[in-house]
Amino acid sequence: MTKEKIVSIEDRIPKLKQARKKKANRRLVFYLSIFFFLLSIIVYLQSPLSHVKSVVVIGNSFYPEEQVIEQSGIIKNTNIWTIQKEEIIKTLEKNPIVKTVSVETKLPWTVEIRMVEHERIGYIKKENSYYPILGNGEILADSENERLSGDAPLLVNFTDKKVLAEMSEELSKLPTNILNIISEIHWSKNELNSKEVTLFMSDGFMVESSIRDFSEKMKVYPSIAAQLDPNAEGIIHIGVGAYFEPFNQEITEEEEIISNENEE
């Protein structure tokens, strides 16, 4: 038989005491860590370290950055944890230029305001100045230009605000490649058709259409224009169907085929 080594109680007690002491020390370190962590949070919240030091505005072009920040109500000594995002969004979206807004806080002290403005879809002339029109029909009275830049069509005779708003909404839905080749849009004020408009295109053609479902109807324009002689003069009618009407001429067999193809 082998003899088992017998450890006396006197030898065990120091080891037990040492183990308990280490455990107690670890526990103390743990609680002290939590204490100092919570203390640091309190100090941070009560100190200028938690104050907003930077407000970044993204996506604005018509709406000046200083005006955005001022209307948001965010000032440099605002505590970043007290930022009311929903209230800021509601306030900024009251501006007719603004389509949507999002607000994000980025620690330690930055607030980011991201905006989407209504797109500029045209211009309107008043006296000797040109004013941009947005996709919601809003006219930017503070952005007058003495010359037409040519980056959007000129809207003529749109004296009715409701009609202007409807036309603007349709233009905002129009594909960019088609919007870019429209030079002018004239509201005809036709008694038989109050929605009738006449367009002057940069490729030389005229178009007669209606404001109702204008964006959908005009999608066929590129395919129609591509089938016509570039030197031809006349009006492309785009309504229920689509056909080309030469000035002072009868519709030719080729043009009737174009009309039938588009009706199909």
Of the CA atoms within 13 Å of residue 49, those in its CB half-sphere come to: 9
Least confident of 124-138, 177-191, 196-210, 248-262: 248-262
The structure tokens listed for 188 are: 């005809």
pLDDT band of residue 257 (cuts 50, 70, 90) is very low
The structure tokens listed for 68 are: 């955005």
Q: How far apart are CA 175 and CA 13, in angstroms?
A: 86
pLDDT at 1: 47
Whether 83 has a pLDDT exceeding 60, the answer reads: yes
What is the average pLDDT across 158-162?
Answer: 92
Q: Is 154 helix (H, G, I), strand (E, B) or coil?
A: strand
Secondary-structure percent of the chain, ordered helix, strand, coil, rounded to 5:
40, 25, 35
pLDDT at 13: 64
Residues of the chain with CATH 3.10.20.310: 49-117
pLDDT at 143: 81
pLDDT band of residue 254 (cuts 50, 70, 90) is very low
Who wins on pLDDT, 118 or 5? 118
Residues of the chain with CATH 3.40.50.10960: 120-263
pLDDT band of residue 98 (cuts 50, 70, 90) is very high
Q: What is the pLDDT of residues 111-154, one digit of tens each?
A: 999 999 999 999 999 988 999 999 999 998 888 888 887 889 99
**What is the CATH number assigned to the segment(s) 120-263?**
3.40.50.10960
What's the pTM?
0.68
Tell me if the bond preceding 108 is cis, omega within 30° of 0: yes
Topology of domain 49-117 in CATH is Ubiquitin-like (UB roll) (3.10.20)
Whether 41 has a pLDDT exceeding 60, the answer reads: yes
Whether 229 has a pLDDT exceeding 60, the answer reads: yes
Contact 88, 78 (CB under 8 A): no
pLDDT at 253: 46
